[in-house]
Chain A
Amino acid sequence: MDWDWNFVAEITPALLQGLKLTLLITVLSALVAAVLGLVFAIARRSENRLIARPVSFFVEFIRGTPLLVQLYFIFYVLPGAGILLPPLVAGVIGMGLHYATYTAEVYRAGIENVARGQWEAARATNLTTRQTWVHVIIPQAVPPMIPALANYLIALFKETPLLSAITVLEMMNQAKLVANSSYRYIEPMTLVGVFFLAISLISVVILRWLEQRFGRLAK
């Protein structure tokens, strides 16, 4: 158990390369999760049962199965049906879709929290459904959701190592490659932990700020 700083210097570039990819995956997946989650939440509230029911079932299905299984399915099974996605795209879709089902629940809570009187007022002033959502409901529903959404963003970030199972060379996979040729785990794994911690802490600060900045508007 001896720590070798020279070895650390030698492997850091490879790990930073992996970190870049990890961050890219996190940002893209978070975007997918944020947008798709809202779509799911609104669709589940639809008065048209032909929309609400299948979407509810789909959301429950994704939420109730492990992400790793879904990744294997997207990467190894879908090509059989002619859908061949590059590893990165498959990973972003898998993670984005999975987390969209969680964010959908957050959106649902936020939307249901908007006072009934607001809906009634929107109807009374003759706003269309679209105008009601865009100008009345969403602006009031989103700010209280920020802490919960931020939580999922950090969780998503920390689950990116799962993508090493579908050959994405993110940080964890890079660390394993380094360990594979050096037979040392202590430095690569410690560094991976340190990088994850550093990014998580920075994001917490940014998210706190967002919360204060936009959370206040709701009041």
Chain B
Amino acid sequence: MKKTLLTLALIAAPAAVMADTLESLKSQGFARIAIANEPPFTAVAADGSVSGAAPDVAREVFKRLGVPEVVASISEYGAMIPGLQARRHDAITAGLFMKPERCQAVAYSEPVLCDAEAFLLPKGNPKGFTSYADIAADPTATIGAPGGGTEEKLALEAGVPRDRVIVVPDGQSGLKMLQDGRLDVYSLPVLSISDLMTKAADPNLEMLAPVVGAPVYCDGAAFRKEDAALRDAFDVELAKMKESGEFAAIVEPYGFSAAAAMSTSRAELCGE
């Protein structure tokens, strides 16, 4: 049944009328965004309210574009781009870092949130891991990472075999698996790991940041390729907010550096 629905959605997607997306968002009064649940990038409180730096920025920009609300749905990182293409979301605002192959698939806005990669490790880093290559070199080491996330790809690119890269469904599970000894390392961006550390308050854990050899990545709001006009409108408002300092006022309380996002550009990060 699920497969049928999926197939139907795929068939329906290209046939849908390519009207002006911004106009239709304005008239329906909300935009659908894909988020993860990975504080501080994206967070869903127990009462269901959505916060986190990425949705907060998106909410403000959409408001300025005349779309008063955003409706968020939680998705796996790997499912976000297919979901966007299948028109289940209008934008991805989830800390989905810009990488050249993702830039091929979607239209990114200018950078929003920047962060380096980190490892969550048992206290004292008993196996001495400092990079993804170290994990590849130890034949017994296992690393946890979100499915379809940047960390999973970095680990695989560094040569860690598939069966040692454990796909962890969410931060809490990853933390638990590390505490239980099922993982040697759990990798997420620096701010996500430090958020987990604060929540766990477990003296037997420590953070290694940044991971050696892993660059600083930035995310942007991601749109369908054919919605480049919407993306351009988003960029205009985003640039105004960056200039006025309102952008910094939103992201800095979460720990993100506004200056880092402003010092780079989509062209640079996408390798265009």
Q: Footprint of B on A, CB under 8 Å?
A: 1, 14, 76, 79, 84, 87, 165, 167, 169, 173, 176-177, 179-181, 183-186, 189-190, 193
Contact = CB atoms under 8 A, between A and B. Distances in A.
Contact of B147 (A1, A87, A177): A177
Interface of B (DSSP majority class): helix
Interface string B171-188: 001001100111000000
Contact of B10 (A1, A84, A183): A1
Contacts of B79: 176, 179-180
A180 B147 contact: yes
A13 B181 CA distance: 30
Interface in B47-64: none
B82 A184 contact: yes
B3 A189 contact: yes
Contact of A180 (B78, B85, B182): B78
B24 interface: no
Nearest to B183: A167
B169 A165 contact: yes
Given A167-B166, A167-B168, A183-B82, A84 B182 contact: yes
A193 B2 CA distance: 10
B3 A183 contact: no
Contact of B6 (A79, A84, A167, A185): A185
A183 B81 contact: yes
A176 B166 CA distance: 13
B3 A193 contact: yes
B14 interface: yes
Contacts of B10: 1, 185-186
Nearest to A79: B180
The 4 nearest A-B residue pairs measured at CB: A180-B78, A180-B148, A79-B180, A183-B81
Contacts of A179: 78-79, 82
A183 B180 CA distance: 32
Given A1-B10, A189-B6, A193-B3, A176 B169 contact: no
Contacts of A14: 162
A167 B148 contact: no
B181 A84 contact: yes
B167 A1 contact: no
10 contacts: A76-B176, A167-B168, A177-B162, A179-B79, A180-B78, A180-B148, A180-B152, A183-B82, A186-B7, A193-B3
Contacts of B147: 176-177, 180
Contacts of B14: 1
Contacts of A79: 176, 180, 182
Contacts of B181: 84
Given A183-B105, A189-B3, A189-B6, A84 B180 contact: yes
Contact of A181 (B3, B11, B153): B153
A183 B225 CA distance: 14
A113 B171 CA distance: 52
Contacts of B173: 76
Contacts of A183: 81-82, 85, 105
Contacts of A181: 78, 148, 153
Contacts of A173: 167
Contacts of B78: 176-177, 179-181
B77 interface: yes
Given A177-B78, A180-B76, A185-B6, 18 more contacts: A14-B162, A79-B182, A84-B181, A84-B182, A87-B182, A165-B169, A167-B167, A176-B78, A177-B162, A179-B79, A180-B77, A181-B153, A183-B85, A185-B10, A186-B7, A186-B10, A189-B6, A193-B3
A84 B180 CA distance: 7
B20 interface: no
Contacts of B177: 167
B163 interface: yes
Given A167-B168, A169-B163, A185 B153 contact: no
